[in-house]
Chain A
Amino acid sequence: MSALTAVLRRDLRLAWRTPGDSVNVVLFFVLSTVLFPFGVGPAAEILARISVGVIWVMALLAALLSLDRLFRQDADDGSLDLLALSPAPLEFLVLGKVLAHWLITGLPLIIASPLLALFLQMPREAYPTLLLALLIGTPTLSLIGAIGVSLTLGARRGGVLVALLVLPLYIPVLIFGVGAVEAASAGLEARPHLLLLGGLLALFLPLSPVATAAALRQALH
């Protein structure tokens, strides 16, 4: 457990000292979302209609963009060897890294999302549900992404491969995430969608560290 917190602390400290990666992800999220009113026109009813989908899709793409930083540097500078050689189970260390990744990239997306919701004229009553859905959904994105990047670590140009592996697995998160917020916008019950999102998180929370650690060990061969 202390090794997990050591990994978490180190990654947060690195992100604090070199904030570029984290800022890039949020900037991508904000700027690309802001383009939509220019693309589809400023009509409030159209923007409100697409707002939930746009925010979720952009959050997905921003998460995808941030994945490469998860293990690439550790693999290149030899840190991954030492993570794998820690007496602590690699699965725990992976969990620490994924948690750090979510805090560095997922949490800023959640914080930026109300601003974008305002910009896209999303109905006010849906804001709490949007935040809650993102809070449950974005950790799942990091967990799924970890599997994808660890599998493609051996490939020099892994970026496209990661998208191919990860995006299909992101679709359920997208569907239930959007479903929850749309339901709240329409004054319906968002709870079933949120529960399904929670179910996905509960599925990937144990699955991802195990699969990722196995893939990392393969990559080290």
Chain B
Amino acid sequence: MHDGTAQLAAAGLVCDRGERRVFAGVEFKVGRGEVLAVVGPNGTGKSSLLRLLAGLLPPSAGTVSWAGAPVADDPDAHRARLHYIGHADALKPALTVAEALRFHAELRGVSPDAATMASALGAFGLGALANLPARFLSQGQRRRAALARLIATPAALWLLDEPTLGLDAESVGRLESALERHRAAGGIAVVATHGGLDLGAHATLDLGGSAP
């Protein structure tokens, strides 16, 4: 089903927040075109793991590697290859959906053309909302506006933290098909979830089981 080479790998990851050890000894390997589902009860460090994989948080111990090389050796290249969707949607009330999308693409050094913008907005059914300031959006619409970033610029690695939060069934379907296309193109996704999303995950990492 896959070529078995680990593109993204973690070895012996330890995460401490303040005095508290969140998790220790987290190991996984994900190959191209694969999805890793991260599950576990609240507070077991799903969000911390994703921030750690994004490079926003340094691990207390252990390494994250991409194609065999530790990502800490070249953080610039690592940032260029990943999309991170956290809990916050990073939208400004005064900016429209399209403006926010374009800004986040430009942050990644890409100036998307009209067709790319249209396909990114269309992938999450935002076509009619493109010119609406974000302050008028519902929670689910805000979430979709954040998820559209995944399509606006290409990235090999998607790190999604509870991406279905606030989404209706139709939008969950849109996310599933976006993930499917990402995998078909050889992309990797690490998704923290409480279920409700059919990931077709190749592996599941249960952080509840690795807590010390």
Contact = CB atoms under 8 A, between A and B. Distances in A.
Interface of A: 2-3, 6-7, 10, 13-14, 17-18, 73, 76-79, 81-89, 93, 220-221
Interface string B86-104: 1111111011000100011
A19 to B, nearest CB: 10
A14 B56 contact: no
Interface of B: 51, 54-58, 76, 79-80, 82, 84, 86-92, 94-95, 99, 103-104, 106-109, 111
A220 B90 contact: no
A220 to B, nearest CB: 5
A87 B80 contact: yes
A3 B87 contact: no
A73 B88 CA distance: 12
B103 A6 contact: yes
Contacts of A85: 54-56, 79, 82, 84
A18 B87 CA distance: 25
Contacts of B106: 2-3, 6
A220 B107 CA distance: 18
Given A6-B103, A81-B84, A86 B94 contact: no
A10 B79 contact: no
A83 B107 contact: yes
Given A78-B88, A85-B82, A14 B58 contact: no
Contacts of B57: 220-221
